[in-house]
Structure 1
Amino acid sequence: MEKKAFTIMAVVAGLLGLTVWYFADGQFMLAKGAVAEALRDPSSAQFRNLRRLPSGGVCGEVNARNAYGAYGGYKGFYYSGSEYGPGYVSFSDSGVELFRQQYRQHCSRQNT
């Protein structure tokens, strides 16, 4: 009986872990898609340092080819989306101050 209870608990814990992993991975996929769409060459996007925020947003860095066909270096991004629908993307080097503020507000290490 003890072995059966342990097996059931192990299965439940495994399913719970798989659900959490799937949800986080799904958020990363949504963020990567939204970020890639905002780039000149979406298929060249390389991602690193992805992290999910308690708000449902995603912070990370992306590198992609520029107009000359060269990689321009990693730049930070903030994706505001949630599982309920699409969000917006803010880049750390954006020419629009509002987007830079969004990135700093959500993605600075002391805020996560």
Structure 2
Amino acid sequence: MKKIVAAIAMLCSMVSTSSFASEVSAAQSAIKNQMKDPDSTNFKSVREITNSQGGRFVCGEVNSKNSYGGYVGFKTFAYQGGRTVIDGSFSNPDDYEFLALSGCAGPDAEKVALANKQAKIGCQISWEQITDVVLFNKSAEASADNAIAKIKLKNPNLDPSVAVNMKSQFITSVNAMKADSSFVESVKNNTNATRAIFMKECINNTSKAISGM
């Protein structure tokens, strides 16, 4: 797993994200419309930021009255391109990720969320490399070529020298995996359950390696 994590961490450094700018007035209007008592809505620390990936978001804190007429307390929010997420009011599975990746919840939350997102991508590519070899009888080199091709789809400007280094690491990690007969048998005979365990461990270890947290 250590060799796989090292290869995936390198892969993840090649993945970038981008965002679009948004306006403070649009953010405040959208947030007010979500409140039970829009007229009671108060804002503070509202500003536009550029996060570590170059994405622009409107951040701030919002407070308003609930159904009983009492203020609920200020909560952090993030807004971009018509989407608003308020801390603690998560209605979609990726709402927390959106808030954390925005940078509005602070640099540490952004760093961890970005590492986790990159780890998910990297670990999925790594799992597909494993199944290429174990289930579809491809060589370690062919599976590494497939992995590099998938990375290039996400990062067309991948430096050729970096790709060569990554391919070498991918081949090494797959050969190490092939030597683990119990894991190979598990992939063959219990693919879905093995994938679930692999992805959980891989994402956890890789995100920690990337973020250093």
| TM-score normalised per structure 1 | 0.65
Q: Give runs of aligned pairs for residues 19-58 of structure 1, distance below 5 A.
A: 27-54=23-50, 55-58=55-58
CA distance in 2, matches of 1:75, 1:90: 10
Superposed CA deviations along residues 31-90 of structure 1, whole A, max 9, x for unmatched, are: 110110111111111000112023342011100000100101001111112xxxxx1111
Name the SS of the counterpart of 1:53 in structure 2: strand
CA distance in 2, matches of 1:43, 1:108: 25
Q: Which structure carries more relative contact order (alpha carbon 8 Å, separation 6+)?
A: 2
CA distance in 2, matches of 1:99, 1:68: 26
Paired AA for residue 98 in structure 2: Q
Shift of 1:29: 1.2
Instruction: Verify the 8 A CA contact 1:44 1:64 in the aligned structure 2.
Output: yes
Superposed CA deviations along residues 6-42 of structure 1, whole A, max 9, x for unmatched, are: xxxxxxxxxxxxxxxxxxxx92111110110111111
Identity of aligned residues (%): 31
- Tell which structure's C-alpha radius of gyration is larger: 2
Q: Give runs of aligned pairs for residues 9-28 of structure 1, distance below 5 A.
A: 27-28=23-24
CA distance in 2, matches of 1:88, 1:102: 9
CA distance in 1, matches of 2:95, 2:84: 8
Is the aligned partner of 1:91 residue 2:86? yes
Q: 1:66 maps to what in 2?
A: 66
CA distance in 2, matches of 1:109, 1:69: 30
Q: 1:8 maps to what in 2?
A: none
Query: Which structure has the highest strand share of the two?
Result: 1
Paired AA for residue 89 in structure 1: T
| TM-score normalised per structure 2 | 0.35
Query: Mind listing any 5+ residue stretches in structure 2 that lack a counterpart?
Result: 1-21, 111-213
